Structure formats: C-alpha cells, structure tokens
C-alpha cells in the first residue's frame, strides 16, 4: 500500500522508481525563483536494460515524456547524481517525476509538485540630497542565491504620478 507519511529511513520526500534494473530516488533542493536541483541515487543492477533515465518536469499537471521538459541523468558519482534547471518562472507550480526509458516505453515515478519562489519587490527609500535639479534615490533588492542572471532592476521616475509623461 501507499505510505503517505514516509515511515522509513532516508528522505521521506523522495520519489522511488524501479524498472529495467534501474532504481532512482528523486528529491529537491536549492529551490529559487527560476531554478531547482533534482538529486538522489541512481542504483544500476549489473544487467540493467534501461536505455536512459532522468527527470521530467512541466507546469501542466498531466504530462508525458513527449510534452514535458526532460533532464537526462548521465553523471553518476557512486550512486549519487544531481541535475538542475534554471529556466523556470517565479511563483509557478511545477510537476515532476522520474522516468526510466526502455526502447519506446517510459516508466514514470510518482508525480510530485513544487512552487518556485516569488520575486521580492524592491523597497524604496525616501529621496535625499534634493536640489533644484537632482536628488539621490536608493533602495534594496533582495534576491535568493542562485537567481538567474537575467534579473533586471532599477528606478523609474517621472514628473507625473502615473508615469504617463517624461519617464
């Protein structure tokens, strides 16, 4: 039966998938606004028959290898592996599972989900050193470690409160 509470040793959040002489466990770490790492153990029996194995993820709850993002697991150190993506959207639910491929057949593990971190709005301090033609504007932008390099932030100013002119 399905033990929802874990109840064993090891990572109780892990997905376990076994097929074709391959056993995969999958867990999550380093969840940010735009990325996540999938890690676990890949145990290969001596005569395994799987062609490939890895992680599938999608922002759709119902997905298959044909319509999801696929991250193959190719580097295994001992039994440990870690693969990651940094192409996710902030504050979005993603669904993931492990896959083991034998020929044209895929065996999927349990589907689980995670939600990426929301972007944090910057805080703006009061303007200082105000003169007839200048002022100093400052603020704070807090970002998680590992945030994608395409994050852009800055200041916008205008003579009108709705920014309709002179931006």
Question: Would you tell me how many other CB atoms lie within 10 Å of the CB of residue 112?
Answer: 15
Return the pLDDT at 2. Answer: 38
Return the pLDDT at 118. Answer: 85
Question: Which 3 state secondary structure label does DSSP give 71?
Answer: strand
CA distance 12 to 85: 23
Answer yes or no: are the C-beta atoms of 26 and 38 closer than 8 Å: yes
- Indicate the burial class of 88 (C-beta count within 10 angstroms; 0-12, 13-18, 19 or more): buried
Q: Which of 13, 83, 77 has its CA nearest to residue 44?
A: 77
Return the pLDDT at 162. Answer: 76
Return the pLDDT at 132. Answer: 87
Q: Could you list the mean pLDDT of each consecutive 10-residue stretch along the chain, which spans 167 residues? A: 37 78 94 93 92 96 95 92 94 95 94 89 76 80 56 71 71
């Amino acid at each position: 039966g399905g033990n929802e509470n874990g109840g064993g040793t090891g990572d109780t959040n892990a997905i376990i998938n076994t097929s074709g002489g391959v056993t995969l466990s999958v867990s999550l770490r380093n969840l940010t606004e735009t990325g996540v790492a999938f890690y676990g153990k890949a145990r290969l029996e001596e005569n395994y028959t799987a062609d490939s194995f890895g992680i599938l993820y999608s922002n759709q709850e119902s997905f298959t290898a044909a319509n999801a993002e696929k991250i193959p697991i190719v580097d295994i150190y001992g039994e440990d592996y870690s693969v990651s993506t940094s192409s996710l959207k902030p504050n979005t639910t993603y669904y993931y599972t492990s896959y083991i491929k034998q020929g044209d057949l895929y065996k999927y593990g349990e589907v689980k989900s995670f939600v990426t971190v929301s972007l944090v709005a910057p805080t703006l301090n009061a303007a200082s050193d105000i003169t007839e033609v200048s002022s100093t504007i400052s603020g704070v932008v807090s970002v998680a470690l590992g945030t994608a390099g395409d994050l852009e932030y800055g200041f916008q100013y205008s003579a009108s409160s709705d920014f309709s002119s002179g931006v």
